[in-house]
Amino acid sequence: MWVVPNYVGCLSALWPSDLKEIAGPSGDALRDLLHDHCARYLAHVKAEACALLGDKRGLRETWDQYRSYFDCQENSNEWFEDRRRSLLTDIPMLVRYLEQNRLGLYRKKVWALRWRHISRLFGRRTRFGNFMSIPWWAWWILIWILIQLFRNQ
């Protein structure tokens, strides 16, 4: 079952096509393979993908089918990706908001999940240095200067 978490970890949670790809293999692995030390991780990642895709029904089905994995507990014998460790508490909170019909809080939490992935993208170091951590307003000024330069030519 290790292959699926490695594959899922390589996909981006920002693109709908990748989110569909995350939800598919995660669900297939949970359904068809023996549950081992990464099943909890796959259940949480599948639930996150459903939430980010706007699939409330898929989120509820994942919750109902694998409820024992969503206990907010981290088991030392199980593997869970460090950057997604917050899902241990975020997914139960999302489902609670759905059950209580608090859709405003649900949408806010989904945007928080999405923003976590976006901010991680901009904070990533690249081989060219840490140029993506430049503040947004500096990028805005740079783009404005470039537009002005090309406008005058």
Query: Which of the two residues, 82 and 89, has the higher pLDDT score?
Result: 89
**What's the pLDDT score for residue 33?**
66
To the question of pTM greater than 0.95 for the whole model, the response is no
Q: Is the pLDDT confidence value at 117 over 90?
A: no
Q: Is the pLDDT confidence value at 32 over 60?
A: yes
Chain segment 42-81, per-residue pLDDT in tens: 888 889 999 999 999 999 998 998 888 888 877 777 778 7
The pLDDT-based confidence of 102 (bands split at 50, 70, 90) is very high
Residue 24, helix vs strand vs coil: helix
The pLDDT-based confidence of 19 (bands split at 50, 70, 90) is confident
Across 3-12, 28-37, 112-121, 137-146, the highest mean pLDDT is recorded for 137-146
Distance CA 8, CA 54 (A): 19
Percent of the chain topping pLDDT 70: 85
Q: What average pLDDT is seen over the chain?
A: 81
**What's the pLDDT score for residue 107?**
92
Distance CA 13, CA 20 (A): 9
Residue 99, helix vs strand vs coil: helix
Q: What is the DSSP string of 41-91?
A: HHHHHHHHHHHHHT-HHHHHHHHHHTGGG-SS---TTS---GGGTTHHHHH
Spans of all domains in the chain: 3-122
Scan for tokens 């297939």, then name that residue. 28
**What's the pLDDT score for residue 139?**
84
The pLDDT-based confidence of 131 (bands split at 50, 70, 90) is low
Q: What is the DSSP string of 100-142?
A: TT-HHHHHHHHHHHHHHHHHHHHT--BTTBSGGGS-HHHHHHH
